[in-house]
């Protein structure tokens, strides 16, 4: 009952028989909540310690410390608060549904004085867009959504493919066999960017290596997740990468002496002995840029892509990385990281063929931002993950 649907738009309609029966004083006006708010950006105001900018982060999980995606945003929230001193005050809401019921929650935080609202889950996009129209004086920052022309709405994203590319290189270098296991929640574009990047990175070390994926059809279910990990390990994988936030997989891998790759947040404490790598998502950089622009009255609606150049993605390496990977391979990985950081290398640069042998990216070309955000192919060498439709 925590995740509740909402009405998108109640348009004008004829008064039905039932309505007439139930409510005598019933009118037929449409909701007037939606002001047309597209033109001007929010009015500028001076923010300082006595009148701090009030930032509210909307988490999807029941707690911000979920050991993964939400926690990466929580790190950013803490860093921002520290960075801006007293000028910016942050707080958060939890269990914010992926649905437009969220509009009511935004109404509440705005009534309590929020100046900036940040949505961390992709599904919060539509309700936040609606809320942005309703509250033109409030700034909205939303994960992975581009503004459809709303002046007070900006989008941000990280570059998961870069982090996973390096993790994939390390996995192939550490692997004794030809199969790397992967536990995958759903074949949605963000996850495809991750696992495709991972496979390409692994193949850059060993072109014949295979990534054996198991789709669990859920975002978190320890029984299913461990079953999936055990299944790929029983097929001989001695590295398991996970693409969802469940540390039970880390434990299961360590029990078998299998290396594991995490996601988004450094959870090495759970199973330190066989921890190999985790790509970290760092949202503080892009959020700082956007908040700075508000404080300096320079805000424009934009989409910020936080790749390694912007430190949006960094790597957390385990001891196994230094101890089990040859110096030559370590050097290759370090070089590649440098190339990502300088911007001279992109992950999805052709020729890339998909699992069906079709050309996914033409030779010499690189995917643009829309191609990344809407990724709908699986690269060769991955089994168990398919894209439909």
Partner 1 sequence: MTADLIRLERRLATPRWLMLAVPAAAGVVALLLAAIFLAATGRDPISTYRQMAQASITRDGALSATMITATPLLLTGLAAAIAFRMRAWNIGGEGQLYIGAIAAAGAGLVVGGQGLAVALPAMCLAGMAGGALWAAIPGLLRAHLNTNEILTSLMLNYVAALLGYYLIFGSGSYWRDLTSPGAQVFPQGKEIAATSWWPGFLAPGVVLPLGFLVGIACAVGLFVTIRSTRFGFRLRVVSDSPRAALYAGIRTKRAFVLVMVLSGALAGLAGVSQVGDFAHQLDPKGLQGAAYGYTGIVVAALARYNPIGVILAALFMGALANAGLSLAGSDFPQGLVGMIEGIILFCALGGEVLSRYRIRVGRGSRALASVVASDSTAPAPRVDGIAGEGAGQGGAEVDMGTGRIL
Partner 2 sequence: MNDGLVVQLLASAVLFGTPLLIAALGELLAERSGILNLGVEGMMLVGAVSGFLVSQRIGGAGWTALLVAVVAAGVVGGGMGLIHAFLTVTLRANQIVSGLALTIFGGAIGLSSYIGDSQHLTGQAARHQFEAINLFGLSDLPILGPVLFHHTLFVYGSWVLVAAVAYYLYRTRAGLHLRAVGEDPAAADAMGISVTGYRYVHTVAGGVFAGVAGAFYTLALSGNWSNGITAGAGWIALAMVVLAFWRPELVVVGAYLFGGIAALGPNLQARNVSLPPELFSALPYLMTIVVLVLVSSAWARGRLNAPAALGTAYMRGE
Residues that bind partner 2 in the complex, under the rule CB under 8 A:
1-2, 61-63, 65-67, 71, 95, 181, 212-218, 220-224, 226-228, 230-232, 234-235, 245-248, 250-251, 254-255, 267, 269-272, 383-384, 386
Q: How far is the CB of 223 from partner 2 (least distance, A)?
A: 5
Is the bond preceding 369 in cis, omega lying within 30 degrees of 0?
Answer: no
Q: Which residues bind partner 1 (CB under 8 A)?
A: 1-16, 18-19, 21-23, 25-31, 33, 62-63, 91-101, 103-105, 107-108, 111, 122-123, 125-126, 144-146, 186-190, 217, 370, 373-374, 376, 388-389
Asked whether 130 and 34 are in contact (CB, 8 A), the reply is yes
Q: How far is the CB of 256 from partner 2 (least distance, A)?
A: 11
For partner 2, which is the closer residue by CB, 142 or 212? 212
The item of partner 2, partner 1, none sharing an interface with residue 226, based on CB under 5 to 8 Å by kind, is partner 2
| Choice between 103 and 228, CB closer to partner 2 | 228
Choose between 152 and 216: whose C-beta lies nearer to partner 2. Answer: 216
Coil, strand or helix at 277: strand
Q: Find which of partner 2, partner 1, none residue 246 binds, CB within 5 to 8 Å per kind.
A: partner 2
**Which of 236, 240, 235, 264 lies closest to 250 in space, CA to CA?**
240
Closest distance of CB 236 from partner 2, Å:
8
* DSSP type of residue 241: E
Q: What is the distance between the alpha carbons of residues 220 and 119, in angstroms, rounded to a whole number?
A: 20
Alpha carbons within 13 angstroms on the beta-carbon side of residue 196 total: 29
Question: Nearest distance from residue 4's CB to partner 1, in Å?
Answer: 5
Using CA atoms, how far apart are residues 79 and 285, in angstroms rounded to an integer? 9
Where do we find the tokens 């978190």?
220
CB of 28 to partner 1, least distance (A): 7
Nearest residue (CB) to partner 2, 51 versus 223? 223
CA angle 316, 268, 272 (to 5 degrees): 120
Q: Residue 146's binding partner, choosing from partner 2, partner 1, none, with beta-carbon cut-off 5 to 8 A by kind?
A: partner 1
Which of partner 1, partner 2, none does residue 234 bind (CB under 5 to 8 Å by kind)? partner 2
The distance of closest approach from Cβ of residue 152 to partner 1 in the complex, given in angstroms and rounded to an integer, is 19
Rounded Cα–Cα distance for residues 304 and 312 (Å): 10
Distance CA 147, CA 142 (A): 9
40 touches, from partner 1, partner 2, none (C-beta below 5 to 8 Å by class): none
85 vs 222 by CB, closer to partner 2 = 222
Identity of the residue, 178 or 235, whose beta carbon is nearer to partner 2 in the bound complex: 235
Task: List 313's β-bridge partners, or say none.
Answer: 281
Query: From the list partner 1, partner 2, none, which binds 18 (C-beta under 5 to 8 Å, kind-based)?
Result: partner 1
Shortest CB 41 distance to partner 1, Å? 23
Tallying the residues shown for the chain, one arrives at 389
Q: How far apart are CA 172 and CA 39, in angstroms?
A: 51
Element (H, E) at 214: strand 210-215
Select 244 or 291, whichever has its Cβ closest to partner 2.
244
- CA distances to 67, 96, 237, 364 from 63, in Å: 10, 10, 33, 44
Helix (H) or strand (E) holding 342: helix 327-342
Task: Choose among partner 1, partner 2, none what residue 311 binds, the Cβ cut-off being 5 to 8 Å by kind.
Answer: none
Report the nearest approach of partner 1 to the CB of residue 75 (Å).
15
* DSSP per-residue codes, 153-171: EEEEEE-HHHHHHHHHHHH
In angstroms, rounded to a whole number, what is the distance separating the alpha carbons of residues 154 and 142? 6
Nearer to partner 2, 168 or 213 (CB): 213
Neighbours of 354 (CB within 10 A): 17
Reduce the DSSP state of residue 42 to 3 states and report it: coil
Nearer to partner 1 by C-beta: 13 or 207? 13
- Contact criterion met (CB below 8 Å) for 299 and 314: no
If contact means CB under 5 to 8 A according to the sort of partner, which of partner 1, partner 2, none does residue 35 touch?
none
63 or 342: whose CB is closer to partner 1? Answer: 63
Chosen from partner 1, partner 2, none, partner binding at 100 (C-beta under 5 to 8 Å by type):
partner 1
């Amino acid at each position: 009952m925590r995740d509740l649907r909402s009405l998108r738009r109640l348009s004008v309609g004829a008064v039905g028989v039932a309505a007439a029966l139930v409510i005598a004083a019933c009118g037929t006006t449409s909701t007037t909540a939606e002001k047309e708010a597209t033109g001007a950006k929010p009015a500028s105001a001076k923010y300082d310690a006595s009148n701090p900018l009030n930032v509210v982060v909307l988490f999807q999980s029941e707690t911000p410390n979920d050991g993964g995606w939400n926690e990466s945003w929580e790190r950013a929230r803490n860093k921002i608060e520290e960075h801006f001193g007293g000028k910016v005050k942050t707080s958060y809401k939890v269990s914010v549904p992926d649905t437009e019921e969220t509009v009511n929650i935004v109404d509440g935080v705005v009534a309590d004085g929020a100046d900036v609202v940040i949505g961390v889950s992709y599904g919060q996009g539509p309700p936040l867009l609606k809320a942005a129209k309703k509250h033109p004086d409030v700034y909205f920052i939303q994960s992975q959504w581009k503004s459809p022309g709303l002046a007070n709405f900006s989008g941000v994203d990280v570059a998961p493919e870069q982090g996973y590319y390096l993790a994939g290189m390390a996995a192939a270098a550490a692997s004794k066999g030809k199969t790397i296991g992967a536990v995958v929640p759903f074949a949605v574009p963000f996850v495809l960017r991750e696992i495709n990047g991972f496979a390409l990175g692994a193949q850059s070390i060993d072109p014949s290596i295979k990534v054996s994926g198991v789709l669990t059809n859920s975002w978190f279910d320890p029984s299913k997740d461990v079953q999936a990990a055990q299944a790929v390990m029983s097929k001989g994988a001695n590295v398991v990468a996970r693409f969802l936030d469940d540390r039970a997989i880390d434990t299961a891998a360590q029990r078998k002496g299998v290396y594991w790759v995490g996601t988004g947040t450094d959870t090495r404490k759970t199973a330190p002995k066989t921890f190999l790598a985790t790509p970290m998502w760092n949202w503080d950089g892009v959020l700082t840029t956007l908040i700075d622009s508000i404080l300096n009255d320079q805000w424009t609606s934009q989409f910020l892509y936080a790749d390694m150049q912007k430190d949006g993605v960094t790597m957390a390496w385990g001891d196994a990385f230094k101890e089990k990977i040859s110096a030559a391979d370590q050097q290759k990985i370090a070089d590649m990281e440098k190339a990502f950081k300088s911007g001279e290398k992109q992950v999805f640069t052709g020729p890339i063929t998909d699992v069906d042998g079709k050309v996914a990216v033409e030779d010499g070309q690189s995917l643009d931002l829309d191609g990344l955000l809407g990724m709908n192919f699986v690269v060769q060498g991955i089994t168990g993950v398919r894209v439909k439709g």
